[in-house]
């Protein structure tokens, strides 16, 4: 993708979808440190397919990822599940927008669509890990699983009216530093990114989805 100056694009990127749930595949943008003869060179930017739900490299079972689809940015640098990824495996997940289900007085839930103005892409701050299946053969193409989690913070602005948390949106201007695997991530880096994300919360548009239906109806709401 020219938009992100990608060096390597995965062969099996997921199709765009309005309804992506945890454990599904998502598109993930990472800067990986080169190895072998190229070690020490500039990072390699990859756009790859990743499982939404982070599986720590030390996990015995990949099912733990189903509970790690979000990571609180306030504590990610301390949590065993996320702290290794904070150091050097940071990423962004590009999206046109997302929706939340807002509880109503009658007990039902109303979907609302959240996006940035002028069709600007959202860049969700994320972490990623590679997990190796110990039971898979060395020549098994599926023995390595790339997984990811979306960072969240306390919601502010119009987003605070629909949910107590919001995804951390990474500004395109600071994305390079965020992705750089040579920049050692810590709690201070996360705090800085969280503060930068706050400004985006006041730029978003929150729209009700016509008829309460996702899919084509949601696409219509986004295009109004």
Q: Over the stretch 139-157, which tens digit does the pLDDT of each residue have?
A: 887 889 999 999 999 999 9
Is residue 59 one of the residues assigned to a domain?
yes
Does residue 132 belong to any structural domain of this protein? yes
Phi, then psi, of 59 in degrees rounded to 5: -65, 140
pLDDT digits over 24-41, tens only? Answer: 999 999 999 888 777 778
Residue 220 is predicted with a pLDDT of: 44
Q: Is residue 190 part of a domain?
A: yes
- The pLDDT value given to residue 110: 86
List pLDDT tens digits, range 89-110: 999 999 999 989 888 889 888 8
Number of domains in the chain: 1
From residue 186, alpha-carbon distances to 51, 77, 89, 171 in Å are: 24, 6, 12, 19
Asked if 128 and 85 count as a contact pair (C-beta separation under 8 A), the reply is yes
Residue 204 resides in a domain? no
The pLDDT-based confidence of 221 (bands split at 50, 70, 90) is very low
47 within a domain of the structure (yes/no):
yes
Are 49 and 25 a contacting pair, CB within 8 Å?
yes
Establish if 141 belongs to a structural domain: yes
**CA 144/CA 129 separation, integer angstroms:** 10
- Classify residue 74: in a domain, yes or no: yes
Strand 205-208 and strand 165-167: the pairing is unpaired
Q: Which domain CATH number covers 33?
A: 3.90.1680.10
User: Angle CA(112)–CA(127)–CA(87) in degrees, nearest 5?
Assistant: 145
Residue with tokens 């599904």: 24
Q: Please tell me the distance from the alpha carbon of residue 185 to that of residue 161, in angstroms, as a whole number.
A: 31
Asked if residue 89 is part of any domain, the answer here is: yes
| Lookup: tokens for 220 | 């219509």
- Its domain, for residue 87, covers 2-96+120-151+163-198
Q: Which residues contact 135 (CB under 8 A, 6 or more apart)?
A: none
């Amino acid at each position: 993708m020219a938009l992100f100056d990608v060096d390597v694009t995965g062969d099996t990127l997921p199709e765009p979808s309005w309804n992506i749930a945890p454990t599904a595949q998502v598109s993930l943008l990472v800067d990986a440190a080169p190895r072998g003869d190229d070690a020490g060179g500039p990072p390699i930017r990859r756009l790859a397919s990743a499982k939404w739900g982070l599986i720590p490299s030390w996990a015995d079972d990949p099912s733990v990822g189903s509970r790690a689809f979000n990571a609180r940015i306030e504590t990610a640098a301390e949590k065993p599940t996320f702290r290794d990824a904070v150091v050097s495996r940071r990423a962004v997940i590009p999206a046109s927008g997302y929706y939340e289900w807002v509880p109503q007085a009658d007990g039902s839930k109303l979907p609302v669509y959240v996006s940035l103005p002028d069709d600007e892409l959202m860049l969700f701050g994320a972490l990623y890990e590679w997990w190796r299946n110990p039971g898979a053969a060395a020549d098994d193409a599926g023995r390595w699983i790339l997984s990811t989690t979306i960072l969240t913070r306390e919601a502010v602005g119009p987003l605070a009216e629909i949910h107590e948390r919001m995804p951390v949106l990474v500004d395109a201007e600071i994305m390079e530093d965020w992705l750089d695997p040579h920049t050692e991530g810590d709690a201070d880096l996360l705090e800085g990114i969280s503060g930068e994300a706050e400004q985006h919360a006041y730029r978003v548009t929150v729209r009700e989805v016509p008829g309460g239906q996702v899919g084509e109806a949601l696409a219509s709401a986004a295009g109004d």
